[in-house]
Structure 1
Amino acid sequence: MLVSVAVLLVVLVSVTLLRYCSIQGRHQNATDEHTVAGLNSPRTRNSSARGRLAASPRTVPGPWLAQLSSCWIVLQCIRDRRNRTVHALHALYGPIVRLAPHEVSLADPACVRQIYITGDFDKSDFYSNFSLFGGTENAFSILSADLHSTRRRIVQSSYSKSTINRRANMIAICDCISQAMLKCAGEPDGRGRSSAPVNVLDLFKNLTMDILTGFQFGEPASSHFLSQPEKAKVIFDQYHTQDDLWWIHPYFPTLARFLCPESLSRAISATSSWLLSSLRLSSSCALPGVVRQLRDSGLSELETASEIANHVFLGYQTTPVVLSYLCWQLSIHDSLQEKLRQEILQAAKSHDYSSQDYYSKPSSDAPKVAMALVPHISVLDKLPLLSAVIDETLRLYTPMPASESRLVPASGYLYTPSSSSYGDKSSSYFLPGGTVISIQPWTLHRDPIVFSDPESFNPERWLINDPEVLRLMNRSLIPFGAGATLCSGMNLALTEIRITVAAILTNYYLFPSNKTTLKDMEMTDRYSTRPRSNFCYINFEKFSPN
């Protein structure tokens, strides 16, 4: 045990020294004001201290270990504690906190726009380690803002709302959802209720993967996990192995070859082979998918594979988690569930389906659960309670709640609290070029200044008639990121969530299962999260409209 701890400490110290040398080298030609490898306030930024924060009451607040090394915050990542640790530090120190000699975290929502949307803040080196297939870059891993913008334009057009809403795509999406609804029925217990609770986390993983891969590769080359759950388990087991050891490549890139266990190497190889075979099969599909569009744009096979692999990995980690938490909350809040059901049914009654057969005519021979009561996505988009429930789920259960790190440009960045709620205007801090700066959704979404009783699930907060409060809440809600790095798959994810929730509530009642407890549903503390138990059981009972 002592040997393991000693090895880990040596590794952490090595990484700290490597990062220090990298940052110093990258900015060696900058002015003295910006080469200070510390984070000083305007009054102390000309301090002669280099390599750490100056020990002054005016420097960025934080734990004393953060002045010396990044080891302690990396250790929190390895122990699955970073998000909650950073959140606790903001509660203790305020809207700006030092995490390491060259890294700070902000919790002021007004900074989102400047750092992620309008400012010249490139991604940090953290993202470069998400290049795949032998280091082939994708939109997520490209660091340069200009290069990222070029690649993003290519990718984003494939996931536009107009593309998703094409009739062929909507039929394919709704066909997958219909198949998933059958899995909720189970065997009746004599009261119309499924005799066994359904693990909706697994169900929604299969559903999301079928929708996502069908959209990317074309239906013949899609995963077909809903109809082949054994195949799904094999692939997801490989992804789970990668998820459990996610921190190795981002935090120990130079040592990854020594730290990676054989199980991780096998898992990466297995999922890569599966995706490449699906990508090559997609060339024979009649309907063009995202793969075809990316290849037609000039991307090579490996560049396309890197993009697709990134979308698949992030997709399976996000949408199923949101759907699981949303359905779980509806199962334990029966009055909210009924209000939402009635909103959807009322919308269905007032909608003209005469020119739309997206839900009534399957594209396959799969049996269909009745979809006639599911309004079209253009109607679902406008339902206020449905939007409120989704927003509240994304707020409290953001599937990617961790820090999104950026680099302060060479000119530096002066942080000044945006309002008296976040501190005195005179308490500004100058952050020199090269400083790693980040904001984590976990903390923004739990800001008591913006969200009253932030740990409670309360969709009604989004229905208040107060434009200013709504503006502030929407400004702080960033479950899909912000600006140029806004999640490319956001439109597809929201379409799946809205139609799936509508399909469930117009076919079933949801009840909590004694196989899932509050402790089971506690969120893991990682870059991407899920229920700690890795399951979410819900009971379903058939609903029949009057």
Structure 2
Amino acid sequence: MSFTAALHTLGSFVSELPASQLCLGAAVLGLISHHAYFIHGERDAHVWTYFLVLLGTPSMLAALLYLSTAAGLSHTVSTVTLATTSFLSAMAASIFVYRLYFHPLSRFPGPSPTRLSKLYYIHAYTQARGQYFRVQQRWHAQYGDIVRSGPNELIVLRPELLPVLGKAAKGSWYNNGNRNSSIQLVKDRETHSVRRRVWDKAFTPDAVKAYAPRVKHYTDMLLEKLAEGEREKDITAWFSYYTFDVMGAFTFGRDFGMLEKGGRDGSDYFLRMTHASMRSIALLGHTPWLLLLMEMLGAAGKEHMKFLEWCKERVDDRKRRGMGEMGSDLFEVLLEAEPKNIGPHHVPLRGDSRTAIVAGSDTTAATLIALFTYLGSSPETLSKLQAELDSLPADSTESPYLSACINEALRLNTAVPSGVSRYIPPEGVTLDDGTFLPGGVNVYFPLWVAMRDERWFDNPEEFCPERWLISTPEKLAEMKAVFQPFWIGRYQCVGRPLALAELHSVGAAVARRFDISLVGDRDAAFAKTIDTFTLEMGEIRCVFTERLL
């Protein structure tokens, strides 16, 4: 039988099937698709294939029926619609029944919609005006320490799980990196280890020490800008200009000119574009298949797509300038290793540039903004810090009380508030109370919630630097068990030494030179914060008055 004759026979067979048999056959295929394929592992990376199949298969079936039989157009359309609807309905029903009653996580409590689909996250995030960490806090108050937040996802507020998560594989959120990989997003452990060894060269103690004069240069520039003109300043803007310029110089050997121009003349373009891109990721990132599909369709947000292209342009510009032009920077290290950045462990420079800027600037800026918001609304704490700094050599940042203030800012306003996505190891984990967490489950440890929990922090909502200085060793150990603002284990933030250097440099210099008072209410200031994976701070204003020393 020829191919054409076979198609004609198949088309005739489908066309002549009674509607009930057609529906049944399509439904059986839907059930088989779920249980034989979709139920086994993640499928985010293949979303484009599924999208094309979903569009193409009904069209091909319609063409087959129409061209190989005498059926009219209306009969063809109704037949294909019936078959497609039966297939998708049966598969969806199978998925929902499995997730509700037979999934290994079916015994864990949580909002009903999250058991069916992670799409509910988009609703919860939007309703909370971007403060997903508060959603997590409400869920834990309602459901307990373990909350089912997705079909295959738990939020677990148990410190004993942290050492396990510190060694665990990256979870489903990192599927967002399938098209735009970076050291942050890459999931393969060996690839990450290879790339991390390259990055570590830029963050050795000697490398960070050598970068100290440049940090001081931008700190001095920030001080002058805070002293100029009106005493009332938008600290969200100025501390962001500072951290983005520092990271621009550290990453590419050139700053963005934000501090110098005060964000004028488009100098803050990258800052605005970064935040717009991160908002797209925040909204869609918990459903990686949807973000990947939107990116492929060019519908992930104009600013998000511009941001990706802008990162590529910065990489191309830095490549053209070659080695050693501006002294040591991150890209000098990356470009030196680029000839070996090939094969299965290749990570594109564009992705690494995005990671360096976002992870190194947004996070540090958020902490500085929080630090001075608290100091500006806590006169006694500020005076105590100034007294200790005044007793030290002029340029010293070795202040235990300053370190305690920074710890409190990191605790109350941690830079990645909702936590990071990790997989429970295949063998599963048994918690201290005997609760068993199945292997392969996507898990978050909610950092913002944990670091405001009265089980581990006395008066957890209070800004109290003294807790880090006068607590008993036992209490200090309890606090440190959950105090992980830079994460823990193999994926701990590589830029931690530089971030702490910036925080101490600016914290000491600004507190030494200025008396600071917050404009308005502190709670109202933090109410404008948005969780975009990192924290995006709303406008917060402080008055800076030069001290008479």
Fold match by TM threshold 0.5: yes
- Report deviation, 1:320: 0.9
The answer (yes or no) to whether the contact 2:419–2:444 under 8 Å persists in 1 is yes
Amino acid across the alignment from 1:264: H
- Report deviation, 1:322: 0.7
TM-score by length of 1: 0.76
Matched, 1:186 2:228: yes
Q: Looking at both structures, which has the greater relative contact order when contacts are Cα pairs under 8 Å and sequence separation is at least 6?
A: 1
The answer (yes or no) to whether the contact 1:401–1:442 under 8 Å persists in 2 is yes
CA 1:20 to 1:496, structure 2 compared with 1: closer, same or farther past 3 Å? farther
Matched, 1:99 2:149: yes
Equivalent residue, structure 2, for 1:520: 525
Matched, 1:248 2:284: yes
The structure whose residues are more often helix, as a share, is: 2
- Report deviation, 1:492: 0.5
- Report deviation, 1:202: 1.2
- Distance across 2 between alignment mates of 1:57 and 1:303: 36
Equivalent residue, structure 1, for 2:77: none
Equivalent residue, structure 1, for 2:455: 449
Amino acid across the alignment from 1:391: N
Q: 1:209 aligns with which of 222, 230, 244?
A: 244
- Distance across 1 between alignment mates of 2:105 and 2:279: 39
The answer (yes or no) to whether the contact 2:182–2:347 under 8 Å persists in 1 is no
Equivalent residue, structure 2, for 1:434: 440
- Distance across 2 between alignment mates of 1:183 and 1:207: 10
Shifted more, 102-111 versus 270-279: the winner is: 270-279
The answer (yes or no) to whether the contact 2:118–2:286 under 8 Å persists in 1 is no
Q: 2:494 aligns with which of 488, 491, 497?
A: 488
Q: 2:194 aligns with which of 150, 153, 158?
A: 150
Q: Deviations over 1:477-513 (max 9, x none)?
A: 1111111111111111110010111111221111222
The answer (yes or no) to whether the contact 1:125–1:143 under 8 Å persists in 2 is no
Amino acid across the alignment from 2:247: L
Q: 1:63 aligns with which of 111, 116, 134?
A: 111
- Distance across 2 between alignment mates of 1:254 and 1:499: 39
Corresponding residue SS for 2:461: coil
Matched, 1:295 2:311: no
- Report deviation, 1:82: 2.7
Equivalent residue, structure 2, for 1:468: 474
- Report deviation, 1:476: 0.6
Corresponding residue SS for 1:245: helix
User: Which of 1 and 2 has greater Rg?
Assistant: 2
CA 1:512 to 1:77, structure 2 compared with 1: closer, same or farther past 3 Å? closer
- Distance across 2 between alignment mates of 1:285 and 1:71: 48
Q: Deviations over 1:150-187 (max 9, x none)?
A: 22122122112321112xx2111101110110011123
- Report deviation, 1:233: 2.1
Corresponding residue SS for 2:149: strand
Amino acid across the alignment from 2:430: Y
For structure 2, which runs of at least 5 residues remain unmatched after alignment? Answer: 1-32, 44-96
Equivalent residue, structure 2, for 1:347: 392
- Report deviation, 1:460: 1.5
Equivalent residue, structure 1, for 2:137: 87
Amino acid across the alignment from 1:225: M
Matched, 1:223 2:223: no
Matched, 1:173 2:215: yes
TM-score by length of 2: 0.75
- Distance across 2 between alignment mates of 1:340 and 1:483: 32
Equivalent residue, structure 2, for 1:537: 541
- Distance across 2 between alignment mates of 1:127 and 1:199: 34
Equivalent residue, structure 2, for 1:138: 182
CA 1:243 to 1:478, structure 2 compared with 1: closer, same or farther past 3 Å? same
The answer (yes or no) to whether the contact 2:105–2:152 under 8 Å persists in 1 is no
Identity, % of aligned positions: 21
Equivalent residue, structure 2, for 1:44: none
Matched, 1:401 2:445: no
Amino acid across the alignment from 2:272: D
- Report deviation, 1:23: 5.4
- Distance across 2 between alignment mates of 1:415 and 1:388: 34
- Distance across 1 between alignment mates of 2:42 and 2:524: 45
Matched, 1:384 2:404: no
- Distance across 1 between alignment mates of 2:514 and 2:148: 49
CA 1:108 to 1:25, structure 2 compared with 1: closer, same or farther past 3 Å? closer
The answer (yes or no) to whether the contact 1:66–1:99 under 8 Å persists in 2 is yes
The answer (yes or no) to whether the contact 2:99–2:106 under 8 Å persists in 1 is no
CA 1:302 to 1:91, structure 2 compared with 1: closer, same or farther past 3 Å? closer
- Report deviation, 1:222: 2.7
- Report deviation, 1:249: 5.3
Equivalent residue, structure 2, for 1:122: 169
Amino acid across the alignment from 2:138: A
Amino acid across the alignment from 2:423: L
The answer (yes or no) to whether the contact 2:324–2:332 under 8 Å persists in 1 is no
Matched, 1:374 2:395: yes
Equivalent residue, structure 2, for 1:277: 317
The answer (yes or no) to whether the contact 1:222–1:278 under 8 Å persists in 2 is no
- Distance across 2 between alignment mates of 1:55 and 1:287: 55
